[in-house]
Structure 1
């Protein structure tokens, strides 16, 4: 398909899909107690006693706020207000600051640890809510969470942000974000989402503090995580930056590529952009070279022992679409747009994208049992954001 037509079609379908995703989350997630269900199973039914995760709630706050702005939707704005109120009432630690990790289905705290990843998503969600509402209290909370990250999670001897601390901002012991992760105190994933959150906060409400924090986050990410000799991200480190990486994560590679470029653009620093550009394109190229699974989509990961998990998850495909469009916009090379358009077709064929509902966790060709449609890690952030980004980006592109 010619470049102009491919870009136009991708944008049109993304706009329609954004509305479908919002409608699914609007109708399936609100619970009778004024919050949202903690989980929706693979058949679309709420799981009554499912715990409520700060990651799900902050990502929903981001999504509903972003959709309120993007679609000028009062329904989305009402859900953003609902999510913001619940987070303030239940997830914010009134005594020690920061956001709790997990609640039970009644809204009672079951895990009060302060995961850096969670604080980052709190900043990210609140910044988007501020963009939609100009709410001063939410901006103040976002800035306080940034201070918590900078003052409590920054490791002063070797630099970088530690993965987690206890409810009282002490050593948390086990640092893992999930059972899939290595128990290491410094991780790519948390640093990536700190970077993402700082980028949005600085875009929405720039000041000297947000500027300095964003510079530091981007400098660390570029210097420690995005400089792999093979073009892929380094994922896990000890406190002294001893590398414990044991795999390649293709979805994170391509996600980091466009988030790094976005951060550099927001800083309006030509020297930083010149430093970041080869890293950004290197990650996109490495994903394009190594990441495809032979079925049309992105694999999940490859271990250093050579095991390849071809069953990519929905989020990696969504990030691939944005990442490759970003690389195309940076270079005008058609191969990147071709990759983005191909991933979108794969999402429609395998993950129920474009079908009027929420996407599945795995593709239909995966050798995995069905997984729930919403939960702690299944949120509207990746696919919802991809649709918004595609529309915005392709609208600005002359060929679209």
Structure 2
């Protein structure tokens, strides 16, 4: 068995020597922000659009890197991302973050998605946590208010998904997949939870606490299936599941995000929530770990998608290590070790100037998808590195 100190050393070296340098090289000195696209051939497209989600995730990643390492260069990169988000991605007239801007920061798609706003709250709170910049916290508070005012259906309760620029609700095309259009999604709810948890760390306001308690209740009562131990994925307006889909990566990610909220709120007196955290982790460990140690992607009906997605491996390592910390069960530590071995061999792009491949197939062959894009950002794998570095002590 590998000693955790060895894993921690490897992860820290990989993060500081491979992941962060790749993304820092994409800094756009002319138009602000970071270049929006790197193809599988590692060619940068300096004219590619820049996503609102990607910009927020870049801000979070560099802010967190500065907070953890104290390295001024990461603060400079975080400030660079912050300026682009505040000056170009934020709608100064109608509030909220755009879905997409062009390379120069002009609006391309002015849709407002609650998912995007949540990453704004998350990244701005982390930036404030790292730098103490009050202007960032004020924007985070404003985005929180927008989500609560426009995004919350307080009667159910539930958080809505997609709006136009003027905050009129629209069909949720941005976060629906598998041939359905969902009114509510598990994905948006776990990321609003993640965002509000970080906001509460720096602004412990009663409104934020109430919203977090509401979200925990939604996840436990509406999203979590207490019999199967899976989370539902897509729902209609009455919280009925509209597809037989299990997202293994989101489930294990949700388990540790929920646990973070419990820790921040001091809510360990809720045994049903704590049981949910460990039950999800055991369930995913039992059903979604492949013989090579990797985590499978999802299952729709009887069909299992066996692609090994980059972010799924990253979140699984955090989720299983969190479960190890909570239970002491060495099974979870073994899961982390084997996932890290698989990731090093098949997901990390070892080419000069590479980062992580999007996914690998069953025999470990990487696919040809982009290395950086609107959804492919430094957040999942940077966060995995940070979480394990901090947790392994």
Q: Which TM-score band (shorter chain)?
A: over 0.9
Q: Distance in 2 between matches of 1:370 and 1:30?
A: 24
Q: Which 5+ residue runs of structure 1 have no aligned equivalent?
A: 396-400
1:260–1:355 Cα change, 3 Å: farther
C-alpha displacement of 1:368? 6.7
Q: Is 1:281–2:278 an aligned residue pair? A: yes
After TM superposition, the structure 1 = structure 2 runs for residues 342-353 of structure 1, keeping only pairs within 5 Å, are: 342-352=338-348
C-alpha displacement of 1:45? 1.6
1:126–1:178 Cα change, 3 Å: same
C-alpha displacement of 1:326? 0.4
C-alpha displacement of 1:328? 0.5
Q: Distance in 2 between matches of 1:23 and 1:367?
A: 24
Q: Distance in 1 between matches of 2:263 and 2:281?
A: 17
SS, match of residue 220 in structure 2 = helix
User: CA contact under 8 A between 2:234 and 2:243: conserved in structure 1?
Assistant: yes
C-alpha displacement of 1:296? 2.3
Higher deviation after alignment, 338-347 or 213-222: 213-222
User: CA contact under 8 A between 2:247 and 2:298: conserved in structure 1?
Assistant: yes
Q: Is 1:271–2:266 an aligned residue pair? A: no
Q: Is 1:391–2:384 an aligned residue pair? A: no
* Partner residue of 1:196 out of 187, 194, 197: 194
After TM superposition, the structure 1 = structure 2 runs for residues 162-177 of structure 1, keeping only pairs within 5 Å, are: 162-177=160-175
1:256–1:181 Cα change, 3 Å: farther
C-alpha displacement of 1:366? 5.1
Q: Distance in 1 between matches of 2:85 and 2:289?
A: 38
C-alpha displacement of 1:320? 0.6
SS, match of residue 243 in structure 1 = coil
Aligned to 2:328: 332
Q: Is 1:294–2:282 an aligned residue pair? A: no
* Partner residue of 1:158 out of 156, 173, 190: 156
C-alpha displacement of 1:242? 1.6
Q: Distance in 2 between matches of 1:244 and 1:293?
A: 27
Q: Distance in 1 between matches of 2:64 and 2:356?
A: 19
Q: Is 1:358–2:355 an aligned residue pair? A: yes
Aligned to 2:21: 23
Aligned to 2:319: 323
Q: After TM superposition, what 4+ stretches of structure 1 lie above 6 angstroms from structure 2? A: 353-356
1:46–1:31 Cα change, 3 Å: farther
Q: Distance in 2 between matches of 1:234 and 1:121?
A: 22
1:381–1:372 Cα change, 3 Å: same
Higher deviation after alignment, 218-227 or 374-383: 218-227
Higher deviation after alignment, 195-204 or 177-186: 177-186
Offset from partner CA, 1:297-352 (integer Å, 9 cap, x none) = 11111111x11111121000000101000000001110000001110000001012
Q: Distance in 1 between matches of 2:349 and 2:202?
A: 30
Aligned to 1:398: none
Q: Which 5+ residue runs of structure 2 have no aligned equivalent?
A: none
SS, match of residue 17 in structure 1 = helix
1:178–1:26 Cα change, 3 Å: farther
Q: Distance in 2 between matches of 1:202 and 1:325?
A: 24
C-alpha displacement of 1:362? 1.1
Aligned to 2:307: 311
Indicate the RMSD between aligned Cα atoms, in angstroms. Answer: 1.7
Q: How many residues align?
A: 390
1:183–1:366 Cα change, 3 Å: farther
Q: Distance in 1 between matches of 2:179 and 2:65?
A: 31
C-alpha displacement of 1:48? 3.2
User: CA contact under 8 A between 2:346 and 2:365: conserved in structure 1?
Assistant: no
SS, match of residue 95 in structure 1 = coil
C-alpha displacement of 1:43? 2.1
SS, match of residue 270 in structure 1 = coil
Higher deviation after alignment, 17-26 or 350-359: 350-359
* Bigger relative contact order (CA 8 A; separation at least 6): 1
SS, match of residue 94 in structure 1 = coil
C-alpha displacement of 1:173? 2.9
Aligned to 2:32: 34
C-alpha displacement of 1:88? 0.8
User: CA contact under 8 A between 1:176 and 1:184: conserved in structure 2?
Assistant: no
Q: Is 1:372–2:370 an aligned residue pair? A: yes
After TM superposition, the structure 1 = structure 2 runs for residues 46-125 of structure 1, keeping only pairs within 5 Å, are: 46-125=44-123
Q: Distance in 1 between matches of 2:180 and 2:64?
A: 32
Query: Normalising to structure 1: TM-score of the pair?
Result: 0.93
